[in-house]
Amino acid sequence: MENTFGNLEVLAARRGTFALNDQSEYLGKAAAVVVSKEGVIEALEINDADVLQEYIADPSATLDPGTVLRPRQVNPETTLTTFSKVKMSSGNCVIYRG
């Protein structure tokens, strides 16, 4: 398997992680979001554009632990696309920094 830019780095959490365990928001580069306690994601953005409904069919529904959200890669050979904002209204998640 050929390593496209960032895939193995994200899986290995090479750039670190952040536990979002309250209703604050994470502003920064998020290569992946993994729900660790069932909850609801209130906001999800890429480059300050709302993409919540592109990744979650019913944003008001609770997501189960283990749910993984990863941005679609526009040009995986050169640039790692990341979420720029993640906010939970309940539950918690682990952010894989991008």
**With 0-12 CB in 10 A as exposed, 13-18 as middle and 19+ as buried, what is 52?**
middle
Query: pLDDT value at position 18?
Result: 93
Mean pLDDT: which of 12-21, 44-53, 78-87 is highest?
A: 44-53
CB 40 within 8 A of CB 62: yes
Give me the residue spans of the domains in the chain. Answer: 7-97
Question: What is the pLDDT confidence band of residue 15, given thresholds at 50, 70 and 90?
Answer: confident
Query: pLDDT value at position 75?
Result: 72
Cα angle for residues 79, 72, 74 (degrees, 5° grid): 40
Question: What is the pLDDT confidence band of residue 1, given thresholds at 50, 70 and 90?
Answer: very low
Q: Is 53 helix (H, G, I), strand (E, B) or coil?
A: helix
Q: Read off the pTM.
A: 0.83
DSSP state of 71: P
Q: Which residues is 57 bridged to in the sheet?
A: none
CATH, domain range 7-97: 2.60.120
pLDDT, tens digit (0-9, with 9 covering 90-100), for 56-80: 999 999 999 999 999 988 776 667 7
Count of CB atoms situated within 10 Å of the CB of 30: 27
